């Protein structure tokens, strides 16, 4: 492998000598233990083949999915990329109560890809943050039995040694009453089930998967010292036992290490399932902060120094690959803007996946097709604005307007600008259908790009494959909503 790379590099060098300006595109190097999350809650997901090639171009060898959608999984066939598939929370009760459903799932979603030239599936995350505080006890009873049934089904199918079962947990499963890592322990209401899960992970040699978000520490508490969310500052430190913490990530991860020690599983392997920084939808979410955060995190990862309680190399999956315009904004408007890349696979900021901290742009998605060069805006003929707010609200109820808020990329557009932005979002999400730019005659289709400064008026991409069914599902939903409004009124 290394020999091939060397000779490619040498060939490239000779070609540069000969032709000067020739651009040698080599497969980029990334930190070997680095992965990335790919969620597809988007109105126009990028074609999976394009995504798989993009990961390869960036040298990223691990990907984490939230489902086992074969449209996405299949794209990694025959590639040197390790895949983690997921089982959504709403399916946990099914698999907890039925081992035959679990066996069926394994057959259709795992065994199917196990052949020569197939997909290198290595993990199944059973549930996604099922013990999140805001879910109450919704999945507390079902998560562990579902994990057991999926494991049994994998064993029965002969994949038990290759495919590990785990569950992605949010860092809110543990707490520290003093804010010192050494006081870390699991939350009271889940301590018993956590013990069962820890014993299971230990027996099966599976990792503990934890999602840690320094951004949320900053977002959730007014007085949180901003620098402490990043990796490049010493402006604040926490002392604990013999350790000094200068960033919240290290302190948070070590809180988990202490909680595991207390439970008797201090040697369990920990993998960071999600870590990242959003770029819009909140005053602290912007490309500069994201760039700073990833630079610090990737450099730390490449240094293999780990944390005071967990020295050594670390495995982590960045969150996330792309923006997702259909994600729930219940946690906050930033939810749709976690992408390192935009909705169309264009990079938002320089990021060096090798962890060398160089100012370089990543490899972007290649071969993405856009819809026509047109936008929907508030017509210049509208002089009486009394009906504009109503139309704006309607558009934002059916499309993503999370860039309009305070401190976001499109704040300060004024009422007419807000309306134009919202009309365009609505129009693009509906594949530029003429009817979607009506707004009681106030909408107007234009061919000049209305983007203004940091505020991008996007053109959606062409999206194919399973999205056809997704689109028709959306149409049914829209129809049903329309009908219910009709019957209510």
Between 29 and 67, CB nearer to ligand NAG: 67
- Write the CB contacts of 157 (distance below 8 Å, at least 6 apart in sequence): 103, 106, 107, 110, 111
Give the interface segment with ligand NAG, choosing from 61-69, 148-156, 311-319, 469-477 (CB under 6 A). Answer: 61-69
Binding residue (CB under 6 A) for ligand NAG from 176, 418, 428, 444? 418
CA-to-CA dists, residue 80 to 3, 57, 63, 230, 320, angstroms: 17, 12, 11, 32, 20
Closest distance between ligand NAG and the C-beta of residue 342, in Å? 20
Instruction: Give the phi and the psi of residue 199 in degrees, each rounded to 5.
Output: -65, -40
Between 194 and 404, CB nearer to ligand NAG: 404
With contacts defined by CB under 6 A, how many residues of the chain interact with ligand NAG?
A: 20
Which listed residue (103, 274, 335, 460) is catalytic? 274
What are the tokens at 432?
A: 């530029």
Exposed / middle / buried, residue 276 (Cβ in 10 Å: 0-12, 13-18, 19+)? buried
What is the Cα–Cα distance from 59 to 349, expressed in whole angstroms?
18
Question: Does 412 participate in binding ligand NAG (rule CB under 6 A)?
Answer: yes
Closest distance between ligand NAG and the C-beta of residue 216, in Å? 22
Site for ligand NAG, residues 74 to 113, rule: CB under 6 A: 104-105, 108-109
Closest distance between ligand NAG and the C-beta of residue 102, in Å? 9
Closest distance between ligand NAG and the C-beta of residue 414, in Å? 5
Closest distance between ligand NAG and the C-beta of residue 107, in Å? 8
Between 207 and 465, CB nearer to ligand NAG: 465
Rg of the chain over Cα atoms, rounded to whole angstroms, equals 24
Which listed residue (5, 82, 103, 129) is catalytic? 129
Query: Does residue 29 carry a catalytic annotation?
Result: no
Between 69 and 232, CB nearer to ligand NAG: 69
What is the Cα–Cα distance from 217 to 214, expressed in whole angstroms?
5
Query: Does residue 226 carry a catalytic annotation?
Result: no
Nearest to 40 by CA among 461, 373, 477: 461
Question: Does 283 participate in binding ligand NAG (rule CB under 6 A)?
Answer: no
Between 207 and 405, CB nearer to ligand NAG: 405
Binding residue (CB under 6 A) for ligand NAG from 29, 57, 67, 155? 67
Binding residue (CB under 6 A) for ligand NAG from 288, 381, 384, 489? 384
- The DSSP output letter for 179 is S
Closest distance between ligand NAG and the C-beta of residue 202, in Å? 28
As a residue count, the chain comes to 489
Exposed / middle / buried, residue 477 (Cβ in 10 Å: 0-12, 13-18, 19+)? exposed
Exposed / middle / buried, residue 311 (Cβ in 10 Å: 0-12, 13-18, 19+)? exposed
What is the Cα–Cα distance from 437 to 270, expressed in whole angstroms?
50
What is the Cα–Cα distance from 90 to 81, expressed in whole angstroms?
28
Question: Does 440 participate in binding ligand NAG (rule CB under 6 A)?
Answer: no
Q: In this structure, how many other beta carbons lie within 10 angstroms of the beta carbon of residue 136?
A: 10
Between 406 and 486, CB nearer to ligand NAG: 406
Q: Which residues bind ligand NAG (CB under 6 A)?
A: 67-70, 104-105, 108-109, 384, 386-387, 404-406, 412-415, 418, 452
Question: Which residues participate in catalysis according to the annotation?
Answer: 129, 274
């Amino acid at each position: 492998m290394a020999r091939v790379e060397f000779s490619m590099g040498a060939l490239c060098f000779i070609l540069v000598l000969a032709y000067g300006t020739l651009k040698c595109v080599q497969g980029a190097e990334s930190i070997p233990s680095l992965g990335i999350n790919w969620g597809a809650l988007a109105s126009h997901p990028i074609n999976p083949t394009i995504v798989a090639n993009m990961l390869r171009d960036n040298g990223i060898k691990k990907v984490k999915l939230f489902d086992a959608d074969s449209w996405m999984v299949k794209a990694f066939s025959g590639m040197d990329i390790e895949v983690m598939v997921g089982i959504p929370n709403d399916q946990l009760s099914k698999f907890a109560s039925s081992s035959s459903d679990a066996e069926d799932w394994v057959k259709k979603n795992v065994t199917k890809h196990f052949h020569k030239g197939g997909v290198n599936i290595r993990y199944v995350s059973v549930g996604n943050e099922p013990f999140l505080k805001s879910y109450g006890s919704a999945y507390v009873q079902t998560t562990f039995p579902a994990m057991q049934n999926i494991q049994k089904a994998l064993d029965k199918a002969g994949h038990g040694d290759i495919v590990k079962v785990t569950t992605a947990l949010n860092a809110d499963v543990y707490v520290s009453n003093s804010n010192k890592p050494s006081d870390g322990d699991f939350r009271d209401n889940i301590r018993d089930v956590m013990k069962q899960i820890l014993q299971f992970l230990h027996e099966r040699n599976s990792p503990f998967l934890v999602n840690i978000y320094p951004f949320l520490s900053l977002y959730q508490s007014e007085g949180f010292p901003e620098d402490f969310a990043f990796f490049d500052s010493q402006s604040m430190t926490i002392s604990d036992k013999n350790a000094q913490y200068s960033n919240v990530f290290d302190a948070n991860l070590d809180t988990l290490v202490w909680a595991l020690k207390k439970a008797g599983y201090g040697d369990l392997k920990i993998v960071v399932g999600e870590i990242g920084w959003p770029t819009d939808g909140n005053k602290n979410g912007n490309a500069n902060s994201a760039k700073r955060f990833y630079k610090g995190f990737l450099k730390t990862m490449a240094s293999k120094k780990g944390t005071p309680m967990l020295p050594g190399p670390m495995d982590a999956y960045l969150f996330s690959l792309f923006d997702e315009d259909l994600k729930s904004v219940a946690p906050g408007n930033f939810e749709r803007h976690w992408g390192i890349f935009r909705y169309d696979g264009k990079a938002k900021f320089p990021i060096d996946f090798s962890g060398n901290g160089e100012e370089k742009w990543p490899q972007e998605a290649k071969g993405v097709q856009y819809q026509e060069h047109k936008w929907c805006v508030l017509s210049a003929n509208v002089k009486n604005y009394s009906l504009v707010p109503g139309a704006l609200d309607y558009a934002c109820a059916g499309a993503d307007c999370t860039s309009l808020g305070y401190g976001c990329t499109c704040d300060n557009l004024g009422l007419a600008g807000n309306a134009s932005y919202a009309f365009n979002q609505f129009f693009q999400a509906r594949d530029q259908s003429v009817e979607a730019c009506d707004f009681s005659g106030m909408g107007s289709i234009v061919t000049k790009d209305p983007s203004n400064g940091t505020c991008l008026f996007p053109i959606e991409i062409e999206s194919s494959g399973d999205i056809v069914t997704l689109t028709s599902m959306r149409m049914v939903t829209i129809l049903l909503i329309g009908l219910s409004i009709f019957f209510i009124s």
